[in-house]
Chains A and B, each alone.
Chain A
Amino acid sequence: MREVMTTSMARNIFYGGSIFFVLIFLGLSVHSHIYIVNTSTASMPLTESVVRGKRIWEEHACVNCHSLHGEGAYFAPEVGNVMTRWGVIDKPKEAFETLKGWMEAQPSRIPGRRQMPGYKLTDEQIRDLSNFLIWADKTDTKGWPPNNAG
């Protein structure tokens, strides 16, 4: 490699190239930020309830069993499309009731079944979580997941 370039050339290419790619990345990030706010997540307003629901999702570390838009742990089903899977995406009241029924049946204690902890959530909290999952489900994720199974 001695013939091709010197160490200081290699160093300058590293610096210059990195700055170049950082700038492109930042530019695309700005555009993506605007696109996410105005386009891909704009079909449903980001209400107070949705924001509280996201916090409940975080406080219970749900992502360390479930995946959401495919990210998280792979121990439990995908929930980015759970409201579609349950057929309640456009029925907030039924979504709440279905989620409440599910949450309150945990843990199942069936031998050989993966166990979900029994979280003691109030109706208000379950409603918030339900609204958050509906909101997430309505995001334009470019057609992912391929089917309802998630």
Chain B
Amino acid sequence: MKYESQKIAYAYFLAAMILFVVQVSGGLLAGWIYVAPNTLSEVLPFNVVRMLHTNSLIVWLLLGFFGAAYFLIPEESGREIHSPAIAYYQLAILVLGTLGVVVTYVFDLFQGNFLLGKDGREFLEQPLWVKIGIVVAALMFLYNVSMTVLAGKKTAITNVLLIGLWGIALLFLFAFYNPANLSLDKMYWWYVVHLWVEGVWELVMAAILAYLMLKLTGVDREVVEKWLYVIVGTSLFTGILGTGHHYYWIGAPGYWQWIGSIFSTLEIVPFFLMMVFSFVMVWKGRRDHPNKAALLWSLGTTTLAFFGAGVWGFLHTLHGVNYYTHGTQITAAHGHLAFFGAYVSLNLAIFTYAFPIMRNRDPYNQVLNMASFWLMSGGMAFMTFVLTFAGTIQTHLQRVMGQNYMEVQDQLVLFYYMRFGAGIAVVLGAILFVYAILVPQREAIEPGKRDVLSPAE
């Protein structure tokens, strides 16, 4: 660790990992309620469990992004973070807000109160006071990192990262605008939800990925930077108008069916480029970095994002297909693999890379960490497959044959059992990951000595 203030990331990543375990445990409980619907039904209804599952996901991913920014910006800018104190206050606000959200949801406190009660739009359920807290924390963060970058060296990586993070904060402001007209509400709601995950989050992802490639493969900065701009260019060129694929059936004009179909089909391009980028960099790289687990997660995130966000997104994005699949388990399948591939794995990649450096020791314990990659990825892939099958059957029975919703659901139970099994693998993988990062003091399996070949050979 070159700069003392990079250590700020440690606290952010720890908080993120705690929420990660909460998130997947909540997911497992929700998966269990699908197969045993009477579980906790009057203590902790499904809608509350799902809010905890989705909200904790979003918060921990953001904490990971913030931490990653604090970790890589000092190195890129060549100077310490402007104010470490502000960074810790920012974290305190976010943690307080998170605790407030959990208590509000679980005990359903202040229901109906405009300031203290939950808000109830999907993913934006946080009470108003928490939303305000998020904005305050975001402003503190942006001030802090922008001051650091402006005073130091400006690189393509910090540039793209900052544009992405500013975009996240500005788009979040639409969370405060809730029109009484449901269709308008939905239209602007997607400004936050879609333009985050299929827009500015991709900028953050590409920037962090570029940093990891730079460090892990040793490829020239010039090459990495050019790739980075091409990738984020295709992200925004496709992702902004790709918002149209959410405007097919909410009361918006019909032209969105064509605009949405065409541009969201092209949304596969940035994910394909990120995958190609990571593999080409590893292929061309001269550096044999000792942190193989970080490399595995880096290649894993681009590959799984390509399939989860790219291929599974395309699967149901054409409006003629979406007419039948919209709001079925197909969407759930895509959502799970897309978030896991693109944003969960990316965060776990930077955690894996940064933790040994922040703790100033060899990258222990890589073998366990890599095992957790395969356990989580395998579980998530299996979950995606079974939900896709469930969604296919649901689409046919419900949307083509016109059978009632609950009648159809009763026929999908087998898939929900398999999804629960896949969920167990994911939770075990998550716990194993946290253990591998924090606990072991030595490598489980000694790495083999590599033969050094001279160029003449």
> A5 contacts which chain B residues (CB < 8 A)?
226
What total of chain A residues lie within 8 Å of the partner, measured CB to CB?
73
Query: With an 8 A cutoff between CB atoms, is B326 at the interface?
Result: yes
Of residues 41 through 63 on chain B, the ones whose CB sits less than 8 Å from some CB of chain A are 41-42, 45-48, 50-51
Query: With an 8 A cutoff between CB atoms, is B153 at the interface?
Result: no
- Contact count band on B: 35 or more
> A65 contacts which chain B residues (CB < 8 A)?
45-47, 50
Verify A59–B118 contact, CB threshold 8 A: yes
Chain A residue at minimum C-beta to C-beta distance from B51: A64
A142: which of B257, B400, B406 is its contact (CB, 8 Å)?
B257
Verify B254–A115 contact, CB threshold 8 A: no
Verify A21–B120 contact, CB threshold 8 A: no
Verify B184–A74 contact, CB threshold 8 A: no
User: Shortest Cβ distance from B120 into chain A, in angstroms?
Assistant: 3
Verify A71–B229 contact, CB threshold 8 A: no
Verify B230–A10 contact, CB threshold 8 A: yes
Verify B399–A61 contact, CB threshold 8 A: no
Verify B251–A36 contact, CB threshold 8 A: yes
B327: which of A17, A59, A67, A107 is its contact (CB, 8 Å)?
A67
Which residues of A come within 8 Å of B, CB atoms?
1-2, 5-7, 10-11, 13-14, 17-18, 21-22, 24-25, 28-29, 31-33, 35-37, 40-41, 46, 50-51, 54, 57-65, 67-78, 107, 109, 111-115, 117, 132, 135-136, 139-150
Which residues of B come within 8 Å of A, CB atoms?
34, 37-38, 41-42, 45-48, 50-51, 111-112, 117-122, 125, 156, 178, 180-187, 222-223, 225-227, 229-230, 232-233, 236-237, 240-241, 243, 246-257, 259, 323-324, 326-329, 331-332, 398-400, 402-406, 408-409
Starting from the known contacts A63-B120, A117-B42, 9 additional A-B residue pairs (CB-CB under 8 Å) come to: A1-B227, A6-B226, A7-B226, A14-B233, A28-B255, A28-B256, A63-B122, A69-B182, A141-B250
Q: Could you list 20 A-B pairs, sorted by A, with CB under 8 Å?
A: A2-B223, A14-B229, A17-B233, A17-B236, A18-B236, A21-B236, A21-B241, A25-B241, A29-B187, A58-B178, A60-B120, A61-B118, A61-B125, A69-B250, A139-B251, A142-B254, A143-B323, A144-B323, A147-B399, A148-B402
